[in-house]
Structure 1
Amino acid sequence: MKKTFLLPIILCFFYNINSSAQTLQDMSSIMTADNQIVIYTAKEIITMDSSRPKAEAVAVQNGKILAVGTKEEVSKILGDKKARLDKTFNDKVIVPGFIAQHDHPVLAALTMASEVLSIEDWELPDGTAKAVKDKNDFMTRLAAAEKKMEDPEEALVTWGYHPNFYGKLTKADLDKISTTRPILAWLRSCHEMVMNSVALEKYGVTSDLIKTWGETPQKQSVLAEGRFWEQGMFAVAPKIATVLATPEKLQKGLFITRDYMHSKGITFGNEPGGILVKPLQDGVNRVMSSDEMPFRWSFMADGKTLCDKYKDDKQVIEEAEKLESWYNGRTSLAKKQVKLFSDGAIYSLLMQVREPYTDKHHGEWMTDLPVFERAFKIFWDAGYQIHVHVNGDAGLDRVLNTLEKNQKANPRIDHRTVIVHFAVSAKDQVDRLAKLGCIVSGNPYYPVALADNYSKNGLGPKRAESMVRMGDVERAGVSYSFHSDMPMAPADPLYLMWCGVNRYTTGGRVVAPEQKVSREGALKSVTIDAAYSLKVEDQMGSLVVGKLANFTILEENPISCDAMKIKDIKVWGTVSEGRKQPVGGKSTKVLLGFNTSELDDFSQGALDHVLKILAAHED
């Protein structure tokens, strides 16, 4: 029964108040309860409220903000109400709680539960996994990890190797680490697996097995090298399911992801294109819906899958609305919001571009035009906010053309269509999306991690260096947010800010400095503008009366510190709806069991969801 559970897991991956109105009348609806009022003071309080950018104190009751201002102003507003003064943050900086605009917790859980040896640092709760320098460094560290393992039968699973950075990895390389222990290297893209000889033999991966596969999986497998990618990896997955994941490993990974995100100051997050398999969501909820979760998390419907599954347009919307009942506690549905997909992924250089790739290969469409146009119209006409995965400038043309067509046929105000990822684009497209009323959720990590490589391979210097042109977006007055797409990049808002402000590559150079964003814009991108992109700006994103008391507590001010040190600012912890949560605080990590019927149910239908996630980020 457990094997049937594992395969899909492996593949898987309140009231609006004017910001300046702090009268006693405004307070009346909040101050009716008997719960204690707490006044927090700090070295600096950055509100992200344009009417009052800075403050000295913030008062909280029942998880919401009562008052913000100078100490005298807050005291006057509270009047004779009893309040406790909390000076915990007197030597720290309070900012609005960070928002993870776009991440994938299940995929993150599975990767973070492995031996992480990747192209970037991962500051995990149990220690930092430093970036791999080169192939020799990878081999040395993998060998050290193998030597630490006590059970000689246990498989060693590692994640993060990137052949574009370090060269090809094969069975022969892994055999040098061990000829007795199974070793599986899950590459950075999550779309390729390399196994040593012991693993191939132990799990029954033979030439006879491969001959039973279809033509494409066979072409995407090289047994002599122990390499399986794309359809080849999916074909071999049933053989290695019990190695890559168990119910316990999934939950362990979710605990790691939870604590990692908390350590980065996250107070709210979202997965666009969320889970459409109830048993899988139930399993995730066991960890993420718990009151011990240090942040809330919302899931957004996957419009592409819904439209593929249901041919009746009305039923598509009905099924999307039914998803609200799937969540509870600290998880929720992002209501009246949906994710669609345009073109291919940036890591695989499969985005659709206006000018050819330098090596003449071609990009791919994730959704055929008739299907994309149908899905867009269904959700547009139903009043949904539409978030569109798009990476190439040709892909963006398609999105903007479709938006313009629907806006003419059925005009909408404040539709907030979100351009997601925004890898390769042109200046004329920024002007156009601004006129059409779009907003942007960009990944500022792309130029930092990929500009050096893609300048030489695929895109050429001009396009590679100007990836994620957020400077143009900011100058155009377009609202923008930053996201990490974890595990495609670290879910670290301060690091994302650093990327956007500096555009300093892993090779040590600044690319397209005109595309840098301002410090304040970067902070807005992970607070109030991230909230705006998810239509929760009335609840969070700035320190304003009536909003949730969600704070991120920092050791330094990211707006005034040295720009190159933004990523190094220490996070004390967070305040979540009035609850103080220091980093490293105790939290339950007890593994929760699954009964047999749940394991059977879990396996049904989960494959479609996880393949969709992988297809969107294939490498």
Structure 2
Amino acid sequence: MPRFLPLIAALLAALAAPLALADTDTDTAFADRIWTGGPILTMEDNAMRAEALAEKDGVILGVGPLDEVTAFQGPQTQMIDLAGRTMIPGFVDAHGHVFMIGLQALSANLLPAPDGTVNDIPTLQAVLRAFAEAQPERVAAAGLILGFGYDDAQLAEQRHPTRDELDAVSTEIPVYAIHQSGHLGVANSLALEQAGITADTPDPAGGVIRRGPDGAPNGVLEENAANMVIGGLLGGLDEAANRAIFRAGTELIASFGYTTAQEGRALPPVAELMQSVAAEEGLDIDVVVYPDVLLARDYILEHHARVYENRIRVGGGKLTIDGSPQGFTALRDRPYYDPPEGVRADYAGYASASGDQVFDAVDWAFANGVQIQTHANGEGASDMLIAAIQTATETHGAADRRPVLIHGQFLREDQVDAYNRLDVFPSLFPMHTFYWGDWHRDRTVGPVAADNISPTGWVRARGMMFSSHHDAPVAFPDSMRILDATVTRRSRSGDIIGPDHRVDVLTALKAMTIWPAYQHFEEDSKGSLAPGKLADLVILSDDPTVIDPEQLDTITVVETIKEGQTIYAAGLREGRLHYRPRRDGTDPYAGFLRTVAIAHEMQGNPGMLSRIRPSTLARAPHSSACVARTLSDLITANLSLPDTPLLP
């Protein structure tokens, strides 16, 4: 445990109210814990609201009226007052990359507002330089300056940075900036040189090396070209670093209320490392892994299971057909609305897997009883997937396989009909409406098609379940922003992207709980609050069914509970404090402290302190002096950091 964490606990104890755990009652008739005093939303249609919930040994004993549930109270039962806060089932990650979430947490933050500060290329360069200066040991160990999350759609220049602009950060160390989509990246000259990429290097299958007028690589890499380079650059990380990355990812996602996480595209070495961490160190949450079906079939066949071992399991295989719509690499069935400079007017993206690969992968999965989850963003990619599933179903017959469509950003209504007919479960990405709704409207697909991205309205009109995911680290695994986007579909600019696809709050909550549990074949043990199910719980600051829908993103996760045990508490959990910037960019008090805690615990970055400004105290319940005093004590007493002004 990092040495400063006990100090944080001591300094901030007065600001937090962690729940003490009572001794477990040995009488099986009595509960270990009973929660009362606030709304409990069960996600069970026959009894959606309850007054109390009882838990024993990590399993729900009872949920319902207060007088019935308190019958489980014994002399050792811990009675917990929700104090008006709202309990719901733990969130089930429908699609994300928990290992890469950890990598993002340990990299320079290149995200735009409200999740970061990078809104132009000079700021991107400055953040990378500050990261390298603050963490020379980490950079030396990795042999790399790595940044994560820049978005050309949000940069003032409206383009990607180039190799020359990353050379301005360093010419002595490889520099690599990962696009927020995860499907593109930019390398400096040294990184390109180490990867062996020159003007004579051909584009790899399913990837593009972007070039200047002279044919030389300009540093921007798409899809498999980016995968090839970043894979080589990260090869310098040792096992300890990779373990820290995985651990950081599980801790971050738990802070947003997730009790089940997904690693949505792993190679065997990463899957094996995660299983090793689970076996040797234990996990606070469940993790379901989907290795790449084009590269890891033997591993999938050997390890896929419906039962967790040490809170981890291989759930099936992941197939990727195309790329990123915001990066213009998704395969459409028509040209892009305003394609990027240098491509043909009829440019419609491209596939990262061939038709033969798609048909073969789906057929293999159906033949071997392996669940397959398929990334298909554009209409052209969905056409390929639908044809493959239709053929495999005709070959192998109907069965409860639950193949999953991942993303489905651009769909035609006839494709939704086909997915419904073929029993394909749609895992959609409504959070795109917030982050890239304006970009899709103005650049990628135009205003008409933009209204139909992640078409939840079409799906629900056909009586289909769906899940709503974050695809982190493409976006933060921010459960409340997912909820907000699924309900309001409001973009960064305030525009409503596709009003006909808005859903009510309970539907959106089901898309984050019971429906993704079904997606993972776990609906009998997770996703709703009912006797016999796991006591995977989240406590929210407010009732999302009562609050103004336009204020959903102001709700915070107060506590995350896995099988009856608190694994995250806002305000204090071993120094890890909740951070979720508001849509307007302001941060609550706990946000600053968590920023600092993560900076030191995960990054060792004193430069993060300079990001605290009086303007961010707009909604804070504590004064500037309080923040400054707490952090000054923290630094002076234990961190031995160079002097850094907390407030200008």
**TM-score, normalised to structure 1's length?**
0.76
Counterpart for residue 6 of structure 1: none
Relative distance call for 1:270 and 1:151 in structure 2 (3 A) is closer
Relative distance call for 1:391 and 1:215 in structure 2 (3 A) is closer
Counterpart for residue 94 of structure 1: 87
Question: Alignment partner of 2:271: what SS?
Answer: helix
Counterpart for residue 24 of structure 1: none
Counterpart for residue 215 of structure 1: 202
Q: Which has the higher contact order (CA 8 A, sep 6+)?
A: 1
Relative distance call for 1:287 and 1:563 in structure 2 (3 A) is farther
Identical-pair percentage: 23
Q: Please state if 1:112 is matched with 2:105.
A: yes
Return the letter of the residue paired with 2:318.
Answer: K
Return the letter of the residue paired with 2:255.
Answer: S
Q: Cα offset for 1:235?
A: 6.7
Question: Alignment partner of 1:66: what SS?
Answer: strand
Return the letter of the residue paired with 1:428.
Answer: D
Relative distance call for 1:253 and 1:271 in structure 2 (3 A) is closer
Counterpart for residue 159 of structure 1: 148
Structure 1: 4+ residue segments shifted above 6 A: 150-153, 178-182, 221-226, 587-591
Question: Alignment partner of 1:556: what SS?
Answer: coil
Aligned length: 533
Question: Alignment partner of 2:119: what SS?
Answer: coil
Relative distance call for 1:289 and 1:526 in structure 2 (3 A) is farther
CA–CA distance in structure 2, aligned partners of residues 368 and 544 of structure 1: 45
Question: Alignment partner of 2:50: what SS?
Answer: strand
- Map Cα deviations across residues 453-512 of structure 1 (whole Å, 9 max, x no partner): 233333222112321111221222100101111111211222111111111112331111
Counterpart for residue 338 of structure 1: 317
Counterpart for residue 611 of structure 1: none
Return the letter of the residue paired with 1:442.
Answer: L
CA RMSD, aligned part only? Answer: 3.7
Return the letter of the residue paired with 1:380.
Answer: F
Q: Cα offset for 1:518?
A: 1.5
8 Å contact from structure 2 (residues 455, 501) kept in 1: yes
Q: Cα offset for 1:160?
A: 2.0
Q: Please state if 1:255 is matched with 2:247.
A: yes
Counterpart for residue 45 of structure 1: 40
Relative distance call for 1:62 and 1:441 in structure 2 (3 A) is same
Return the letter of the residue paired with 1:40.
Answer: W
Counterpart for residue 300 of structure 1: 290
Q: Cα offset for 1:58?
A: 0.8
Question: Alignment partner of 1:380: what SS?
Answer: helix
Q: Please state if 1:356 is matched with 2:348.
A: no
8 Å contact from structure 2 (residues 55, 61) kept in 1: yes
Counterpart for residue 526 of structure 2: 540
1:54 maps to which of 49, 52, 58: 49
Relative distance call for 1:347 and 1:88 in structure 2 (3 A) is same
Unaligned runs of 5+ in 2: 1-24, 338-344, 577-597, 603-648
8 Å contact from structure 2 (residues 260, 286) kept in 1: yes
Q: Please state if 1:554 is matched with 2:533.
A: no
8 Å contact from structure 1 (residues 119, 131) kept in 2: yes
8 Å contact from structure 1 (residues 220, 232) kept in 2: no
Relative distance call for 1:382 and 1:153 in structure 2 (3 A) is closer
CA–CA distance in structure 2, aligned partners of residues 325 and 515 of structure 1: 33
Question: Alignment partner of 2:427: what SS?
Answer: strand
CA–CA distance in structure 2, aligned partners of residues 195 and 67 of structure 1: 58
Return the letter of the residue paired with 1:160.
Answer: G
Q: Cα offset for 1:513?
A: 0.7
CA–CA distance in structure 1, aligned partners of residues 460 and 228 of structure 2: 45
Return the letter of the residue paired with 1:283.
Answer: L
Report which stretch shifted further, 174-183 or 531-540.
Answer: 174-183
Counterpart for residue 445 of structure 1: 431
1:70 maps to which of 65, 68, 73: 65
CA–CA distance in structure 2, aligned partners of residues 286 and 429 of structure 1: 41
- Map Cα deviations across residues 312-345 of structure 1 (whole Å, 9 max, x no partner): xxxx6x96144559984121222xx433344443
CA–CA distance in structure 1, aligned partners of residues 296 and 505 of structure 2: 39
1:284 maps to which of 274, 280, 283: 274
CA–CA distance in structure 1, aligned partners of residues 301 and 357 of structure 2: 17
Report which stretch shifted further, 541-550 or 437-446.
Answer: 437-446
Return the letter of the residue paired with 1:586.
Answer: E
Relative distance call for 1:386 and 1:150 in structure 2 (3 A) is closer
Unaligned runs of 5+ in 1: 1-29, 123-129, 308-315, 592-619
Return the letter of the residue paired with 2:186.
Answer: M
Counterpart for residue 555 of structure 2: 569
8 Å contact from structure 1 (residues 102, 485) kept in 2: yes
**TM-score, normalised to structure 2's length?**
0.73
Question: Alignment partner of 1:294: what SS?
Answer: coil
CA–CA distance in structure 1, aligned partners of residues 174 and 55 of structure 2: 54
8 Å contact from structure 2 (residues 174, 187) kept in 1: no
- Map Cα deviations across residues 173-192 of structure 1 (whole Å, 9 max, x no partner): 45656788875534434432
Relative distance call for 1:183 and 1:398 in structure 2 (3 A) is closer
Counterpart for residue 625 of structure 2: none
CA–CA distance in structure 2, aligned partners of residues 132 and 486 of structure 1: 18
